[in-house]
């Protein structure tokens, strides 16, 4: 009888434990909870934009954004780049740290940060633009390129370093330097092949002096932890915009490029670690209203996936959605909406527990659309199971 009683107690405890685990998983899987990250009016700044999310060596999440003050506009607006840390998967976030401080007296700011985790030395490396605006830039007053490194998992940042000459020299050579800017969001570190350890991001470079003219996308990479930078030998696209790269399971690198003509996303591939690129191809599955997004690699139960976040509209920045590919981007077989309503840029990251975090710009910057311009940056966490479960639309966040 005693053995039966002990068995009953053990089974009961197991049922309770399994139920708790199921409910705990279910809470993430069925309803990604919104966590406030950067809100309009926070810390004396009316506006925030341009999210970038990275996981530090200690497992902490580090979120970076533009603190834009009283003006929503891009550079040459005086912008300060700030960061926050989370050590509990995004449930709570630290106070802001300064990545790059804008100067209202000198009328100089920084913006559009790309961030990468260097698994070789444990540093975080941010690369960003500053000094002037892209379309204001000229040889006499360039929009410059800078970097900053964190050696303590995003708690603080080393002084800003000017890497303009390295980057511009690689892209323009001895030709006229019209101006280029960083694509913002997630950069990568290659894990496979002879270029393993290489840090990489994408810049968009003006092709001529005309205002609003065409932009070419070059991969920018470093083989020494961000101390020196080089550019790809050719442009992946000569009529692109902000772009992201991701390393595929076969070692190739895929570039996802914002389509200035709107409609659908452009893709280019490199088979040599980002040094040369194929002609860009239009993908008619992934919608693109000419917006920045994010793309990351994700391995789950031995299977390799790509996750791509973008507004799910060919014309309007709204309904940020995550697309899923299980064949290195050849096809995209699933998608699910993260945010219901006007929304724009986003940044993705895989957490240590296998869940996925995303920052979403919630709001708009378009006087032709109803409502107030401006963005709140919300953080959400979800599972692959939730992502693959269907195309349900989440309720709007009030």
Q: What is the DSSP letter of 297?
A: E
CATH architecture of the domain with range 35-388: 6 Propeller (2.120)
Rounded to two decimals, the pTM is 0.91
The tokens describing 170, both together, are 């690689």
For residue 368, the model assigns a pLDDT of: 96
Tens of pLDDT along 130-141? 999 999 999 999
In contact, 364 and 358? CB cutoff 8 Å: no
Check whether 24 has a pLDDT greater than 60. no
Quick one: pLDDT at residue 30? 63
pLDDT score at 31: 77
pLDDT digits (tens, 9 = 90+) for 194-223: 999 999 999 999 999 999 999 999 999 999
Closest by CA to 53, choosing from 397, 286, 360, 384, is 360
Q: What is the mean pLDDT of residues 94-108?
A: 94
Tell me which residue of 82, 71, 80 sits closest to 46, measured CA to CA: 71
DSSP, residue by residue, 126-178: EEEEESS-TTT-BTTBPPEEEEEEESSTTSS-PPPEE-HHHHHHHHHTTS---
100 pLDDT more than 70: yes
Query: Is there a contact between 218 and 237 (Cβ–Cβ < 8 Å)?
Result: no
Question: pLDDT at position 396, please?
Answer: 45
The gap between the terminal CA atoms of the chain, to the nearest Å, is 57
Task: For residues 109 and 73, give the distance between their C-alpha atoms in angstroms, rounded to a whole number.
Answer: 12
pLDDT tens-digit series, residues 388-398: 987 655 444 43
Tell me the domain boundaries of the chain.
Answer: 1-30, 35-388
Alpha-carbon distances of 312 from 110, 195, 293, 309, 336, rounded to whole Å:
29, 34, 11, 9, 10
Contact 310, 265 (CB under 8 A): yes
Q: What's the pLDDT at 17?
A: 39
Q: In this structure, are residues 349 and 64 in contact, taking their beta carbons and an 8 Å threshold?
A: no
pLDDT of residue 16: 35
Contact present, 62 and 115 (Cβ < 8 Å): yes
* Confidence label for 105 from pLDDT (cuts 50, 70 and 90): confident
> Using one digit for the tens of pLDDT, what is the confidence trace for 11-20?
444 333 333 3
Predicted pLDDT of residue 392: 53
Contact 54, 116 (CB under 8 A): yes
Element (H, E) at 4: helix 2-30
Rounded Cα–Cα distance for residues 255 and 200 (Å): 11
> What does the block give as tokens for 115?
């961030």
* DSSP-derived 3-state class of residue 35: strand
* pLDDT for 391: 60
How far lies 380's CA from each of 177, 275, 359, in Å?
A: 40, 34, 7
pLDDT (0 to 100) of residue 216: 98
């Amino acid at each position: 009888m005693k053995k039966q009683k002990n068995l009953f107690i053990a089974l009961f405890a197991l049922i309770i434990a399994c139920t708790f685990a199921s409910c705990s998983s279910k809470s993430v899987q069925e309803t990604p909870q919104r966590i406030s990250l950067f809100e309009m009016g926070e810390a004396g700044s009316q506006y925030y934009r341009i999210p970038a999310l990275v996981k530090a060596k200690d497992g902490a999440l580090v979120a970076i954004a533009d603190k834009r003050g009283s003006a929503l506009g891009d550079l040459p607006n005086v912008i300060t780049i700030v960061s926050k840390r989370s050590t509990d998967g995004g449930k709570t976030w630290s106070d802001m740290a300064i990545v790059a401080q804008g100067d209202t007296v000198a009328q100089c700011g920084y913006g559009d940060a790309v961030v990468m985790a260097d698994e070789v030395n444990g540093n975080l490396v941010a690369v960003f633009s500053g000094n002037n605006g892209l379309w204001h830039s000229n040889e006499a007053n360039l929009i410059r390129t800078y970097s900053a490194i964190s050696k303590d998992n995003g708690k603080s940042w080393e002084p800003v370093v000017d890497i303009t000459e390295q980057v511009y020299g690689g892209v323009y050579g001895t030709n006229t330097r019209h101006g280029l800017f960083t694509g913002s969001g997630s950069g990568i570190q290659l894990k496979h092949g002879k270029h393993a350890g290489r840090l990489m991001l994408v810049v968009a470079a003006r092709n001529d002096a005309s205002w609003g003219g065409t932009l070419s996308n070059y991969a920018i990479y470093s083989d020494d932890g961000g101390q020196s930078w080089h550019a790809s030998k050719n442009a992946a696209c000569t009529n692109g915009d902000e772009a992201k790269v991701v390393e595929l399971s076969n070692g190739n690198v895929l570039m996802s490029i914002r389509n200035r003509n709107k409609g659908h996303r452009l893709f280019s591939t490199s088979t040599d670690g980002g040094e040369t690129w194929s002609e860009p191809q239009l993908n008619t599955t992934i919608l693109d209203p000419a917006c920045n997004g994010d793309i990351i690699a994700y391995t789950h139960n031995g299977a390799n996936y790509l996750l791509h976040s973008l507004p799910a509209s060919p014309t309007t920045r709204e309904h940020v959605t995550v697309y899923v590919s299980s064949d290195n981007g050849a096809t995209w077989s699933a998608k699910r909406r993260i945010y219901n309503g006007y929304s724009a840029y986003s940044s993705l990251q895989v957490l240590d527990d296998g869940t996925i975090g995303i920052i979403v710009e919630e709001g708009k910057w378009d006087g032709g659309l109803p409502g107030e311009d401006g963005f709140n940056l919300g953080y959400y966490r979800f599972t692959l199971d939730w992502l693959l479960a269907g195309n349900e639309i989440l309720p709007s966040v009030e």
